[in-house]
Structure 1
Amino acid sequence: MTIKSINGCIGCGECVQSCPCDVIRLDPKTGKAVITYAADCQICHLCRMYCPVDAIEMSPDKSIPVIVSWG
């Protein structure tokens, strides 16, 4: 698993919208983000970068540094 946890989620949905692999979904009961397909995570860090409250924590054992391809 690459996304370790989502703590402090405010339910804005930014992580869901930013994830290109559909790893995170909003729980219909709580309105908070949940990790649904952790094995599909490509470690792009977009969910973490777009989260306005810094609620997403990546697992350090599988995380890679953010690589920016534009200059």
Structure 2
Amino acid sequence: MPINEIAGCIGCETCVKACPTDVIQMDLNQGKAYIAYPEDCQICHLCRLYCPVDAISITPEKSIPVVVSWR
């Protein structure tokens, strides 16, 4: 599972709106986001980048390494 957890979610739905593949959904009973389709995650990091409380972590083995082009 690429996205590890959504600990500390405040229910703002920013990650749900940012996710281009609809992986993250809102649990209306708890008022918090959850990972509905982890196998469909494209590891784009948009959920993590837009989260205002830094509640999303991505496992290191699934994280995209930073690539720098040197000439």
Please say whether Structure 1 and Structure 2 have the same fold, judged by a TM-score greater than 0.5. Answer: yes
Equivalent residues of 1:21, 1:41 under 8 A apart: yes
Determine the structure 2 residue equivalent to 1:3: 3
- Partner SS for 2:65: coil
Amino acid at match of 1:64: I
AA partner of residue 55 (structure 1): A
| Structure 2 unaligned blocks of 5 or more | none
**Matched residues in 1 for 2:24 and 2:43: separation?**
13
Q: Runs ≥4 in structure 1, deviation > 2 angstroms?
A: none
How far off its partner does 1:66 sit? 6.0
Aligned CA-pair RMSD:
1.2
Note the residue ranges of structure 1 that are not aligned, 5 or more in a row.
none
Q: Percent identity?
A: 64
Aligned to 1:49: 49
Distance in 1, matches of 2:52 and 2:66, equals 18
TM-score, normalised by the number of residues in structure 1: 0.89
Please list, as runs of the form range in 1=range in 2, the aligned pairs for 1:15-54 lying within 5 A after superposition.
Answer: 15-54=15-54
User: Are residues 66 and 33 of structure 1, via their aligned partners in 2, closer, same or farther at CA, if it must alter by over 3 Å?
Assistant: farther
Q: How many residues align?
A: 67
